[in-house]
Structure 1
Amino acid sequence: MLRYIGLRAVMALAVAFAVSLAAFFLLNLATDPAHAIAGEDATQEVVEAIRARYGLDQPLPVRYFEWLAGVLRGDFGESYYWHKPVAELVASRAGVTLALAFSALAVTIAIAIPLGALAALNPNSWIDRFALGVAVSAQAVPNFWLGLIMIIIFAVTIPLFPVSGDDSWRHFVLPAIVLGASSVPAVMRLTRTGLLDVMSADYIRTARSKGYRGWSLLYRHALRNALLPVISVLAVQLGQKFGGSVITESIFAINGLGRLALESILGADIPTVQMLIFIFAIVFVAMNLLADILNAALDPRIRIG
């Protein structure tokens, strides 16, 4: 088991390094940071002075390894736009995005797994067709449209929840539903497919002969094996929600990392953008690693293979 975890951890670190390398070079080649800091009307002398001040006159490989060494020391650099340490900006907004991501994942689990289980217990029935219809609808609706509709209905027409902000749990209800709905189709279909495969297994027939039926059969015998692929998808979805909440946070004016990323892109704040990309990649890779470990713990055949 330790060897399996070690191999997966080495692969995760390699992916994180590759993402940091690609993000740094692409961002710095796409625009000139010195011009972005100085502004459009700055003279060449001012641009050169800024380039020397921030070390932008060094070759890109040198700047990359200096940046990477700073990250390993906990120094994420200074924001060109806010003139604050990037670490301070990230720390002030990470909690909001974490709360939103876990709330959205809870919404996904609460909707997708029961729907998938109901569809598997009643294959080819109206319940099955209804569950598949919900999945198709959730996949077809874009987040920005769903967010606007939720605001119009539940914040303006029926003022149950606030329109924007992140001051209380009520501010997270609508954004969590919007962000969580996008993951419902994949999780619901995997739950349904996994349960249908498991329900035809020999040990399930044996359990039925012992008198297990319905939810007792599902909970005691079928669910654990059927949820193995679902665990991987949920971990991946959590990583995606952590880094993919830009639209949702912008619509609901939530001051999280997604909105910080959008503001940094609009302000050409390269140090903040590249650090956020690196953080999102680390979270995504870490969630995949966690999924691999959980799957290996639940199914010894995976780590043996």
Structure 2
Amino acid sequence: MLNYALRRIFMACLLALFVSFLTYALIFTAGDPAAAIAGSASTAADAENIRQIYGFDDPLIVQYLRWVGNVLQGDLGNSLYFRQPVSEIILSRFAVTAQVGIFALIFAMLIAVPLGVAAGRWPNSLIDRGALFIAVVGQAVPSFWFALLLIIVFSITFPILPSSGLGTWRHYVLPVLVLGYFSMPAIMRLTRSGMISALETDYIRTARAMGLSERRVLFDYALRNAALPLISLSSAQFGFMLAGSVVVESVFAIPGAGRLAWESIGRADLPTVQALVLCFSLFYVLLTLLADMLNAALDPRMRMK
């Protein structure tokens, strides 16, 4: 287990380093950072002066190493719009995004897993067809369109839920529904296929021949084996939720990291955009690493890879 953990951590560190380099390169592909800092009313001499002050005239690798050193010390730079450290802005906004994402993942698991289990237990039945219909609709409907539809129904036609901001638990309902429904199809389909495969194995037939109850066969044996891929998928879906929060938070006016990314792109706030992309990417890498470690702890065969 220790060797497996060290290998996974080493690979995660390499991936994080690669992601950090791509993130830093974004500031140059998006435009001239010196011109963005100087502003639209600046002259070419002003931009050149800023290049010398911030070191933008140094080789790219030198700038990258200097930036990595600052990031490791918690310095993500200063926002060009808010005029304060980016790390302080992201910490307050990221907590809101993570909170909405956690609620959405819990909602998706509570709906998708039972439906997937039922669809796998009775394939080609009415339950199976209904679950597959929900999955297909969830994959086909854009999240922003679904969010606007919920606002029209539950905030305008029947004004029972607020359509923007955060305050009470009622403000979380619509954003959680949209983000959760976005992740339900993948979880449901994987649970269904895992249950179908598990129920066709010899140990399930042996368990039934021993007279075990169907409930115990389903949940203690079949679902336990089908749940292993769900751990990796759930971590990936949570990462997708955080990245997909850009659309949802913009529609529902939620003051989270996703809306901050949208606003920063429109304001050409390159340091903030750069830091947000880095944080989202590194968080996704960390989630994948934790899912691999948990899978290895539950299934010893994973440690042999």
TM-score w.r.t. structure 1 length?
A: 0.96
Unaligned 5+ segments in structure 1 are none
| Letter paired with 1:286 | L
Find the counterpart in structure 2 of residue 111 from structure 1: 111
Distance 2:290 2:178 in 1: 25
- Count of residue pairs brought into register by the alignment: 305
Which has the higher mean CA deviation after the structures are superposed, 187-196 or 239-248?
239-248
C-alpha contact 1:34 1:47 (8 A) present in aligned 2: yes
Q: What secondary structure sits across from 2:78 in the alignment?
A: coil
Find the counterpart in structure 1 of residue 234 from structure 2: 234
Quick one: percent identity of the two aligned structures? 50
Offset from partner CA, 1:179-226 (integer Å, 9 cap, x none): 111111111111000011111112211221233344332112211101
Distance 2:212 2:274 in 1: 54
Distance 1:304 1:29 in 2: 41
Q: How far apart are 1:131 and its partner, in Å?
A: 0.6
C-alpha contact 2:27 2:33 (8 A) present in aligned 1: no
Q: What secondary structure sits across from 1:76 in the alignment?
A: coil
Q: What secondary structure sits across from 2:277 in the alignment?
A: helix
| Letter paired with 1:129 | R
Find the counterpart in structure 2 of residue 281 from structure 1: 281
Find the counterpart in structure 1 of residue 176 from structure 2: 176
Offset from partner CA, 1:53-109 (integer Å, 9 cap, x none): 333333322221111000101111111121110011111111101101101101210
Alignment of 1:101-140 (within 5 A): 101-140=101-140
Alignment of 1:62-141 (within 5 A): 62-141=62-141
Q: How far apart are 1:148 and its partner, in Å?
A: 0.2
| Letter paired with 1:108 | A
Residue 254 (structure 2) pairs with residue 258 (structure 1):
no
Which has the higher mean CA deviation after the structures are superposed, 207-216 or 281-290?
207-216
C-alpha contact 1:242 1:280 (8 A) present in aligned 2: yes
Residue 187 (structure 2) pairs with residue 161 (structure 1):
no
Q: Which runs of 4+ in 1 moved over 4 A?
A: none
Find the counterpart in structure 1 of residue 143 from structure 2: 143
Offset from partner CA, 1:147-169 (integer Å, 9 cap, x none): 00011111121222111002222
CA RMSD, Structure 1 to Structure 2 (Å): 1.3
TM-score w.r.t. structure 2 length?
A: 0.96
Unaligned 5+ segments in structure 2 are none
Q: How far apart are 1:275 and its partner, in Å?
A: 1.0
Find the counterpart in structure 2 of residue 300 from structure 1: 300
C-alpha contact 2:144 2:248 (8 A) present in aligned 1: yes
